[in-house]
């Protein structure tokens, strides 16, 4: 009995010594780090980011109030930046006041181009000029983390009908170079998802390959997570080590002609003719993302539908990949 106990004690002390040796090498030679640990080491200072997606000023009568509520919450926090994830507002004079609300926010703020931001025949250049956005796609660093914003509205190869949802060759080459030139843990934003072909970026496999190759070449998990809006749903998945999160809309879920319903006054309906094709969310949805040493967390937020929801409308049960829900889940991603 006694001997046995001694033996196991020895094994334990050997193990802890081995752990100690491994840990002490981490600081000395960071280039030799095994997968996953390097990114963990690089995030020394936690970051907090405000996210709002698909406000749709041109559909919602109360988009201004929704944006104001988001910024009110933003002002209570000490954030590193905020980002609107597309389908914000078209570059029309009538949207000046709405944009002013955003522009009046003093902290760092970024835009993502959505497919509806050029509705009514506007160009991407016009939308960018209106928002004071300098490039369709770009990247920046904050506290040792690299952020990439993609433009998912490049022209799809012909024949194609409907809204563009594509990352063109030039942008893909730029993405490869941009990833090559950073050794920081990286977070990617796009309006349309990079993980579901239905409604998402049609050549998402090409883009995933670029991200995965960058991780392989780096020898550590460089690209941690990709975030998108556009689909007005609440979803998290992981593909080959990279997390993909869909951030729900601030305003509503589109349900179309089959389920259209008047939910506001006649006056509102006359002025905002598209609301009846949606199930609006009572309060605006938005979220705050925390990036810390061991993980990334999306803060939950929940509201309710205005009027009948999908169940009361007898809609087919929504796909688990595409739930119709008035909420943003608490998503926790280990890194
Ligand atoms: Zn969209």
* CA–centroid distance, residue 115 to ligand 1 (Å): 5
Q: How far is the CA of 53 from the centre of ligand 1 (A)?
A: 9
How far does the centroid of ligand 1 lie from the alpha carbon of residue 329, in Å? 20
- The secondary structure of 217-242, three-state, reads HHCCCCEEEEEECCCCCCEEEEECCE
Is 317 within the bounds of a domain? yes
266 C-alpha to ligand 1 centroid (Å)? 27
Give 116 Cα–ligand 1 centroid separation in angstroms.
6
Decide: helix, strand or coil at residue 289: strand
Tokens 């041109």: give the residue: 58
Rounded to the nearest whole angstrom, what is the distance from the C-alpha of residue 29 to the centroid of ligand 1?
A: 44
Q: Which residues pair with 142 in a beta bridge?
A: 145
- Is residue 249 assigned to a domain? yes
CA of 80 relative to ligand 1 center, distance in Å: 25
d(CA 136, CA 141): 17
Q: State the Cα–Cα distance between residues 101 and 68, nearest whole angstrom.
A: 7
For residue 60, the CA-to-ligand 1 centroid distance in Å is 14
Tell me, in angstroms, the distance from the centre of ligand 1 to residue 232's CA: 8
What was the pLDDT predicted at 42?
A: 67
| Partners of 297 in beta bridges | 290, 332
Total domains in the fold of the chain: 1
Tell me the CA–centroid distance for residue 305 and ligand 1, in Å: 20
- What range defines the domain where residue 191 resides? 8-334
Asked if residues 17 and 23 have their Cβ atoms less than 8 Å apart, the reply is no
In a domain, 1, yes or no: no
Calculate how far, in angstroms, residue 32's C-alpha sits from the geometric centre of ligand 1: 42
- Residue 328 belongs to a domain: yes
CA of 3 to the centre of ligand 1 (A): 69
Q: Which residues are within 8 A (CB) of 157 and not within 5 positions of it... i.e. 6 or more apart?
A: 166
Distance 199 CA to ligand 1 centre (A): 9
Cα distances from 279 to residues 76, 97, 268, in angstroms, run 29, 25, 15
The reply to whether 233 falls in a domain is yes
**Residue 3 included in any domain:** no
Q: Does residue 2 belong to any structural domain of this protein?
A: no
Backbone angles phi, psi at 2, to 5 degrees: -60, -45
Quick: pLDDT tens for 3-13: 333 333 333 33
Distance 86 CA to ligand 1 centre (A): 7
Question: How far apart are the CA of 114 and the centre of ligand 1, in A?
Answer: 5
Integer Cα distance of 274 and 200 in angstroms: 22
The rounded Å distance from CA 88 to ligand 1 centre is 9
Q: Is residue 59 part of a domain?
A: yes
Which pLDDT score is estimated for 44?
Answer: 81
- Cβ atoms within 10 A of the Cβ of 88, count? 31
Confirm if 324 and 318 have CB atoms less than 8 A apart: yes
Alpha helices of 104-191 — where are they, by DSSP H?
124-131, 169-180
Q: What is the CATH number of the domain that holds 96?
A: 3.60.21.10
Is the overall model pTM greater than 0.75, yes or no? Answer: yes
> Which segments of the chain have a pLDDT < 70?
1-42
Distance (angstroms) between ligand 1 centre and the Cα of 301 equals 21
Distance 43 CA to ligand 1 centre (A): 31
Confidence (pLDDT) at 279 = 98
User: Residue 154 Cα, ligand 1 centroid: separation in angstroms?
Assistant: 13
Distance (angstroms) between ligand 1 centre and the Cα of 190 equals 10
State the DSSP string of 146-164. EEEE--TBSPPPSS--SS-
**pLDDT value at residue 316:** 87
């Amino acid at each position: 009995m006694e001997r046995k106990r001694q033996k196991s004690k020895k094994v334990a002390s050997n193990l802890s010594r081995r752990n100690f040796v491994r840990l002490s090498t981490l600081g000395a030679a960071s280039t030799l780090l095994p997968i996953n640990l390097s990114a963990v080491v690089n995030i020394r200072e936690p970051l907090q980011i405000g996210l709002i997606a698909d406000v749709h000023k041109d559909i919602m009568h109360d988009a201004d109030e929704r944006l104001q509520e988001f910024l009110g919450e933003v002002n209570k926090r000490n954030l590193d930046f905020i980002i609107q994830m597309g389908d914000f507002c078209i570059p029309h004079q009538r949207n000046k006041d709405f944009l002013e609300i955003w522009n009046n926010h003093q902290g760092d703020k970024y835009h993502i181009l959505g497919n509806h931001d050029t509705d009514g025949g506007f160009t991407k250049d016009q939308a960018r000029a209106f928002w004071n956005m300098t490039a369709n796609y770009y990247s920046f660093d904050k506290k040792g983390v690299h952020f990439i914003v993609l433009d998912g509205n490049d022209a799809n190869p012909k024949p194609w009908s409907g809204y563009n949802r594509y990352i063109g060759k030039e942008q893909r080459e730029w993405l490869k170079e941009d990833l090559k030139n950073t050794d920081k843990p990286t977070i990617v934003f796009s309006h349309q998802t990079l993980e579901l072909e239905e409604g998402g970026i049609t050549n998402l496999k090409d883009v995933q390959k670029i991200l995965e190759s960058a991780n392989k070449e780096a020898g550590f998990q460089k690209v941690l997570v990709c975030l998108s809006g556009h689909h007005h749903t609440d979803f998290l998945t992981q593909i080959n080590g990279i997390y993909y999160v869909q951030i729900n809309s601030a305003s509503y879920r589109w349900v179309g002609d089959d389920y259209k319903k008047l939910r506001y006054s006649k006056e509102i309906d006359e002025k905002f003719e598209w609301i009846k094709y949606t199930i609006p969310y009572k309060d605006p949805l938005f979220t705050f993302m925390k990036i810390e040493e061991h993980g990334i967390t999306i803060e939950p937020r929940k509201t309710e539908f205005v009027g009948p929801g999908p169940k009361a409308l007898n809609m087919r049960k929504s796909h688990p990949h595409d739930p119709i829900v008035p909420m943003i889940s608490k998503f926790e991603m280990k890194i």
